[in-house]
Amino acid sequence: MAGQGGRARRGAVACLLTGVLVLAGCTSAGPGAPARAEIQRLLDRHAAALLHRDEAGYLAGLDPALVPAARTEFDRLATIPLDGLDYRVTGVTPDGPGRATARAEFGYRIKGYDSGPATTERVLDLAEKDGRWYVTGDRAADGAPQQLWEQGAVTTVTGHRSLVLGVGQSRERLREIADAADRAVPAVTEAWPSPWAGRVVVLVPASVEGMGRLLAAPAGSYRGIAAVTTGQIGGGPKAPADRVIVNPDAYGVLGDFGRGFVLTHETTHVATRAQTGAATPVWLSEGFADWVAYRGTGRTPAQAAPELARAVRAGNTPAGLPDDKEFAFGGDGEAMARAYESGWLACAMVAERWGEAKLTDFYRAVGAHPRREGAVEKALQDVLDTTPEAFTADWRAFLRDRLGQGTP
């Protein structure tokens, strides 16, 4: 499952601990605020010390009382193979005599996995004392997520095509997830012929509550959700890096098939991100990910779509493909299951009737459209030589044939 709207949730390293960090060499920029360029230079040095594992440089500007906590943060980051790390100060606002607030974007890349950085916004509280400015607080901006390493010590497991980072998880469990992700990558590549990175980063917090904090969302929205994928629609080299985030509670109760299915589904979102646009309806993005995950498993529609099968057999065949809102987390679980099953069977019908190559062509054509309005209609005409009305009628007949045993 993956969010479709706007800019995706984004990750980052929380490098400045709440407390007092001396802005060494900084002086007042006049009444009320330090110079933005001075803060930028300080944060550049701080980021370089983290990236190059320079503990002395990292601790040099800290108040002695913060050193123990800072060492803990420094040690946690050592388990993550960083390839790039930087701050970008975006603004400084005076808050009164000798006080100011700075906003900064922080980005990091994982070596061998991220073509673009994972980023987030931080808010820094500043205070002036004896001609020097200090950072007295550091927090995520409104709506920004907590980071995995803020939740505890990070265990890293490297697969052939995956990197799994976990908190509060055994190495054996993380290895099992890495193995499943390693199997998912070639399965996705076989079904999705467009170029993509061919690797995936998976985050495993200690609980669903930890998952919620990683997504800056209520944990209750994800209790029955085994995993989600973060990322920015449209992809590209400068897009924020994708992360698959596993809910250890829901994932843990799945069998081998279910776990493999979940990671293949989420890996499909990573692979298709660059071809998924604002015009892509959720039924298509989620249905395609399910189609890839079920591909070659031998599961029948009746086995894989039990909620929709019950509706069809009761004479309640859906009138049309589901709206985006029907995929919302935290709502009616059975209705959401029917929405996913509907999208999957629409993609399965295209693959069966027009061929798998036409299905991937259709997906790309919809995503390439500049806006939602007219995107599916144009792709149906250009790629499948059909109309929305005919496609919907064919899909409803397909549901009745595969799920309803001929029920009208």
| CATH number of the domain residue 240 falls in | 3.30.2010.30
As a whole number of angstroms, the distance between CA 235 and CA 277 comes to: 9
Identify whether 7 is part of a domain.
Answer: no
Say yes or no: 182 and 61 in one domain.
no
Identify whether 210 is part of a domain.
Answer: yes
Q: Which of 96, 128, 144 is the last residue of a domain?
A: 144
Q: Is the pLDDT of residue 289 over 60?
A: yes
The parent domain of residue 371 ranges over 279-408
Count the neighbouring beta carbons within 10 Å of the beta carbon of residue 4: 16
Q: Is the pLDDT of residue 219 over 80?
A: yes
Residues whose CB falls within 8 Å of the CB of residue 386, separated by 6 or more in sequence, listed in order:
380, 394
Task: Tell me the β-bridge partners of 154.
Answer: 167
Identify whether 28 is part of a domain.
Answer: yes
Q: Which of 144, 160, 177 is the last residue of a domain?
A: 144
Instruction: Give the residue-averaged pLDDT of 385-395.
Output: 98
Count the neighbouring beta carbons within 10 Å of the beta carbon of residue 406: 6
Q: How many domains does the chain have?
A: 3
Say yes or no: 150 and 265 in one domain.
yes
**Tokens representing 285?**
């993005």
The amino acid occupying position 187 is A
**Tokens representing 152?**
């505890």
In this structure, of 12-16, 198-202, 224-228, 352-356, the range with the lowest mean pLDDT score is 12-16
pLDDT at res. 24: 43
Say yes or no: 293 and 382 in one domain.
yes
Q: Is the pLDDT of residue 23 over 60?
A: no
As a whole number of angstroms, the distance between CA 249 and CA 366 comes to: 35
As a whole number of angstroms, the distance between CA 19 and CA 112 comes to: 33
Identify whether 325 is part of a domain.
Answer: yes
**Residue 61's pLDDT band (cuts 50, 70, 90):** low
Q: Please, is 239 exposed, middle or buried when counting C-beta atoms within 10 Å of its C-beta (0-12, 13-18, 19+)?
A: buried
Q: Please, is 382 exposed, middle or buried when counting C-beta atoms within 10 Å of its C-beta (0-12, 13-18, 19+)?
A: exposed
Q: Which of 211, 245, 276 is the last residue of a domain?
A: 276
| CATH number of the domain residue 94 falls in | 3.10.450.50
In this structure, of 217-226, 297-306, 310-319, the range with the lowest mean pLDDT score is 217-226
Identify whether 2 is part of a domain.
Answer: no
Say yes or no: 124 and 164 in one domain.
no
Identify whether 14 is part of a domain.
Answer: no
Per-residue pLDDT of 31-55, as tens digits, reads 556 788 877 887 788 789 889 999 9
Say yes or no: 262 and 303 in one domain.
no
Per-residue pLDDT of 153-205, as tens digits, reads 999 999 999 999 999 999 999 999 999 999 999 999 999 999 999 999 999 99
**Residue 6's pLDDT band (cuts 50, 70, 90):** very low
Instruction: Give the residue-averaged pLDDT of 370-377.
Output: 95
Say yes or no: 266 and 305 in one domain.
no
Q: Is the pLDDT of residue 60 over 60?
A: yes
**Tokens representing 18?**
């709440």
pLDDT at res. 8: 33
Say yes or no: 44 and 167 in one domain.
no
pLDDT at res. 3: 45
Identify whether 5 is part of a domain.
Answer: no
**Tokens representing 88?**
């970008």
**Residue 140's pLDDT band (cuts 50, 70, 90):** confident
Say yes or no: 300 and 335 in one domain.
yes
Instruction: Give the residue-averaged pLDDT of 135-147.
Output: 81
Task: Tell me the β-bridge partners of 202.
Answer: 164, 244
Q: Is the pLDDT of residue 26 over 50?
A: no
**Percent of the chain predicted with pLDDT > 90:** 61
pLDDT at res. 59: 76
Instruction: Give the residue-averaged pLDDT of 81-98.
Output: 90
Say yes or no: 285 and 243 in one domain.
no
Instruction: Give the residue-averaged pLDDT of 242-246.
Output: 95
Per-residue pLDDT of 301-314, as tens digits, reads 999 999 999 999 99
pLDDT at res. 125: 80
**Tokens representing 51?**
């990236």
pLDDT at res. 129: 74
For the chain, give the mean pLDDT.
Answer: 86
Say yes or no: 35 and 123 in one domain.
yes
Identify whether 15 is part of a domain.
Answer: no
pLDDT at res. 73: 83
pLDDT at res. 358: 98
pLDDT at res. 57: 82
The amino acid occupying position 378 is K
The three-state (H, E, C) secondary structure of the chain, written as one string = CECCCCCCCCCCCCCCCCCCEECCCCCECCCCCECHHHHHHHHHHHHHHHHCCCHHHHHCCECHHHHHHHHHHHHHHCCCCEEEEEEEEEEEEEEECCEEEEEEEEEEEECCCCCCCEEEEEEEEEEEECCEEEEEEEEECCCCCCCHHHCCCEEEEECCCEEEEEECCCHHHHHHHHHHHHHHHHHHHHHCCCCCCCCEEEEECCCHHHHHHHHCCCHHHHCCCCEEEECCCCCCCCCCCCEEEECHHHHHCCCHHHHHHHHHHHHHHHHHHHHCCCCCCHHHHHHHHHHHHHCCCCCCHHHHCHHHHHHHHCCCCCCCCCCHHHHCCCCCHHHHHHHHHHHHHHHHHHHHHCCHHHHHHHHHHHHHCCCCCCHHHHHHHHHHCCCHHHHHHHHHHHHHHHHCCCCC
**Tokens representing 382?**
């250009």
**Residue 18's pLDDT band (cuts 50, 70, 90):** very low
Q: Is the pLDDT of residue 238 over 80?
A: no
Say yes or no: 283 and 316 in one domain.
yes
Instruction: Give the residue-averaged pLDDT of 272-298.
Output: 96
Say yes or no: 381 and 399 in one domain.
yes
**Residue 295's pLDDT band (cuts 50, 70, 90):** very high
Q: Is the pLDDT of residue 347 over 90?
A: yes
Instruction: Give the residue-averaged pLDDT of 22-26.
Output: 45
